[in-house]
């Protein structure tokens, strides 16, 4: 977006936060360079778990996954504090309102800039992460359902960044103080992420496999995500997978009083990845839209 094509409050907003925009561009560029270097180095590693090139790629992508989880909190905090609350706290927003700019246009310029930067930046980082994640797909802590890789390889993290923008726009107006607004927005965004992640695997129906006790636990296909494993009883009840072993020291021999009839295994197939991503993304975008509506409702109440 060229500053030459921007006018009024949008030009002012971009001008005010040009350093943050350049920092975002530099972060994406540096991340891409680091991932390319790690992949090139790791291509010469015989064992991805051995300390060296392969290990460095795994460690780097592990930290990258954590950083991607924190990205929506950072985006929300920046929107709430430096973008919205700081102007309200200092009173500089009044200057914009004297320049033939309506309150709605002033706030819209803040929200649009933050949303555009958050979308472009997070989408670019998802692409960078997928590039580094590709050699590690399916390995320990890098399966499609693991915390970090799940968010960082799909659309969910982009949606959470937009939620951070919307919550920040709302909280920035309500709190009107820079640091408290940043803290509250980060907390709210983080709580929403935790709640939705705890409900994530309830979106689609879980599939179940069963097997006789003597045959051992059922086997999953490559890439499937196990959510629960245990034993079934004649009455239809369920026991933990170690219930027999605790008594007999054998996984295939169970005491008669337990009335164990077989094994059960609950799982999500790899085909559930994109449907789960799509539903969670839609829910987050709805929450973002409601938060943004609330932000403009607060603005209308204070500046009718």
> What would you measure as the largest C-alpha separation in the chain, in angstroms?
84
The answer to whether residue 182 scores a pLDDT higher than 80 is yes
The answer to whether residue 51 scores a pLDDT higher than 60 is no
CA angle at residue 145 from 269 to 242, to 5 degrees? Answer: 80
Residue range 74-101: average pLDDT?
A: 84
Per-residue confidence (pLDDT) for residue 139, from 0 to 100: 85
Instruction: Give the pTM.
Output: 0.90
> How far apart are the C-alpha atoms of 107 and 66, rounded to whole Å?
31
> How far apart are the C-alpha atoms of 11 and 197, rounded to whole Å?
38
Q: DSSP character for 219? A: P
Residue range 100-111: average pLDDT?
A: 85
Coil, strand or helix at 51: coil
> How far apart are the C-alpha atoms of 75 and 185, rounded to whole Å?
9
Per-residue confidence (pLDDT) for residue 1, from 0 to 100: 44
* Distance spanning both ends of the chain, measured CA to CA: 31
The answer to whether residue 110 scores a pLDDT higher than 80 is yes
Q: Are 176 and 302 in contact (CB under 8 A)?
A: no
Q: Where are the alpha helices (DSSP H) in the chain?
A: 8-16, 18-42, 53-78, 86-90, 93-97, 103-133, 149-152, 156-175, 178-199, 243-248, 273-302
**Where is pLDDT greater, at 106 or 280?**
280
Q: Are 193 and 69 in contact (CB under 8 A)?
A: yes
Question: In the block, which residue shows the tokens 């700019």?
Answer: 101
Per-residue confidence (pLDDT) for residue 65, from 0 to 100: 95
How does the average pLDDT of the chain come out, rounded? Answer: 89
Residue range 265-293: average pLDDT?
A: 97
> How far apart are the C-alpha atoms of 263 and 213, rounded to whole Å?
6
5-28 pLDDT, tens digit each: 666 667 777 787 889 889 999 999
Residue range 59-83: average pLDDT?
A: 95
The answer to whether residue 2 scores a pLDDT higher than 50 is no
The answer to whether residue 195 scores a pLDDT higher than 50 is yes
Confidence of residue 40 (pLDDT cuts 50, 70, 90): confident
What distance lies between CA 91 and its chain's CA centroid?
34
């Amino acid at each position: 977006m060229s500053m030459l094509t921007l006018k009024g409050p949008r030009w002012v907003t971009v001008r005010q936060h040009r350093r943050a925009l350049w920092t975002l561009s530099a972060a994406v560029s540096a991340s891409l360079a680091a991932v390319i270097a790690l992949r090139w180095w790791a291509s010469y590693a015989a064992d991805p778990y051995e300390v060296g090139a392969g290990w460095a790629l795994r460690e780097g992508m592990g930290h990258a996954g954590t950083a991607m989880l924190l990205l929506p909190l950072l985006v929300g905090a920046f929107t709430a504090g430096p973008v919205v609350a700081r102007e309200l706290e200092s009173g500089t927003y009044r200057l914009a309102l004297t320049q033939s700019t309506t309150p709605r246009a002033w706030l819209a310029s803040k929200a649009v800039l933050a949303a555009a930067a958050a979308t472009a930046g997070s989408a670019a980082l998802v692409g960078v992460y997928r590039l580094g994640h590709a050699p590690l797909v399916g390995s320990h802590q890098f399966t499609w359902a693991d915390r970090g890789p799940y968010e960082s390889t799909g659309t969910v993290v982009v949606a959470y960044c937009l939620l951070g923008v919307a919550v920040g726009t709302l909280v920035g107006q309500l709190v009107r103080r820079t640091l408290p607004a940043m803290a509250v927005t980060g907390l709210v965004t983080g709580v929403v992420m935790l709640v939705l992640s705890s409900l994530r695997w309830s979106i689609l129906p879980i599939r179940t496999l069963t097997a006789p006790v003597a045959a051992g636990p059922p086997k999953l296909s490559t890439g499937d995500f196990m959510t629960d494993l245990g034993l079934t009883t004649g009455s239809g009840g369920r026991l933990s997978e170690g219930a027999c072993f605790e008594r007999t020291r054998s996984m295939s021999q169970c005491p008669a009083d337990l009335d164990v009839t077989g094994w059960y295994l609950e799982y999500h197939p790899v085909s559930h990845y994109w449907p789960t991503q799509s539903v969670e993304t839609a829910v987050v975008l709805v929450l973002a839209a409601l938060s943004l509506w609330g932000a403009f409702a607060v603005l209308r109440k204070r500046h009718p």
